[in-house]
A and B are shown apart, each in its own frame.
Chain A
């Protein structure tokens, strides 16, 4: 009897928790960093459209608000295509740019590290999007990028896409354990 009561309480609690899974808020959740956020230099040389002068403001928070929100992760998936992230990273497998669905992270796998990579840009081709996309959208993209290698909760990761895609959906992939990237191969000593 007691076990049944406990079980039903648990079931109700789980069901209520699921209500938040796709919560949509129709205002900008993340305020743009004010004067308090330190300005960081841009690292990538490229910028979309007309370049902005000066550095970029990074976030004062270490984690975005969207890593538990399935709707926002899917918005990130749409923006990944809209802002041409897939132009270099493909659908996560990488082509000109590094793969995002594997376990190697050249510039860190944490939310704030990915946010910084998007906003500052990185050497050898990653454009700097700071000032060109809103912080809110950047955090959505960060959440989606982390879902690619299974860093988010299973119930939050996208289970389908809006476009034709041959690969397995994010939710079906094996979670990877992030590690620093392998050093690039060095030419053998003594070679001409």
Chain B
């Protein structure tokens, strides 16, 4: 949040600074006045009887200093409200010319992203790792599959909720290339903490190359080990929930695995995507992410190795 990488995060940071410094100033002023009053008040000696002389007098009306402070506070609060409204307007008025359209759906506990730009034949789906081009606005259409989620990528934009049965939208732009961490920001069940999202901002040419690669179906396995892995993928329980474009696996209940080997992380930011981690994850997902909807599949060591070899070819 303190290192904004886009125009909206920048505006939000400016507002944050304004509010934080104004409130800090007011707090300091109140403390100073309090200290001054304490110093100025005459101290009575300990054994003296309490001074009750003023108790039967009417309370004095508001003094000028109190009235001034009330008016000043009200004006400051009003100024913060106005600043907030103007920031919100500026955030909402970002130019959306030539925007990239992505439909982002929250699931327990992962994200699916469908790129819906251009003709329908250009549509493709990926999961948990969203690439965007630097300098071009992105319109996320937000949906939820099961419960309420919320997306927050602090270096790019504010939070927005994903609510089942409703469609929200979030616009943002990344002005510098980089990997921006996102999180689910609304408690959504047991593995809420392991519902990470990575937004990868690439320069235009690299983004286009990535998108073109994502549109291609999975490559044909080259060796016998990988072929055996594909056969296992399609004849065991994997194909019941996952999709690999170009094969008969087309279910949408788990992340699309067509290009899983090209991603940095597994299971929505739970594990780095390495061969050992992939193997350990498939062998017992409940050990790494207790409560996840992925069951552990009973496979022999040789079969598991073949399956992982196949998944590693899905670049």
Contact = CB atoms under 8 A, between A and B. Distances in A.
A27 B284 CA distance: 8
B286 interface: yes
B298 A134 contact: yes
Interface string B190-224: 00000000000000000000000000000000000
A82 B237 CA distance: 12
Interface in B217-270: 231, 234-237, 239-241, 248-249, 251, 253
B146 A162 contact: yes
Interface in B256-302: 286, 290-291, 293, 295-298
A51 B234 CA distance: 8
Nearest to A31: B298
Contacts of B235: 49-52, 131-132
A107 interface: no
A132 to B, nearest CB: 6
A115 to B, nearest CB: 16
Nearest to B164: A162
Interface in A17-39: 24, 26-28, 32
Given A32-B298, A162-B146, A26 B291 contact: yes
Given A27-B286, A49-B249, A134-B295, 9 more contacts: A24-B291, A26-B286, A28-B295, A50-B231, A52-B235, A82-B253, A131-B237, A132-B239, A136-B295
Closest 5 CB pairs of A and B: A49-B239, A50-B234, A26-B290, A32-B298, A50-B235
Interface of A: 24, 26-28, 32, 48-52, 78, 82-83, 131-134, 136-137, 162, 164
8 contacts: A28-B296, A50-B235, A78-B293, A82-B253, A134-B295, A134-B297, A136-B295, A137-B295
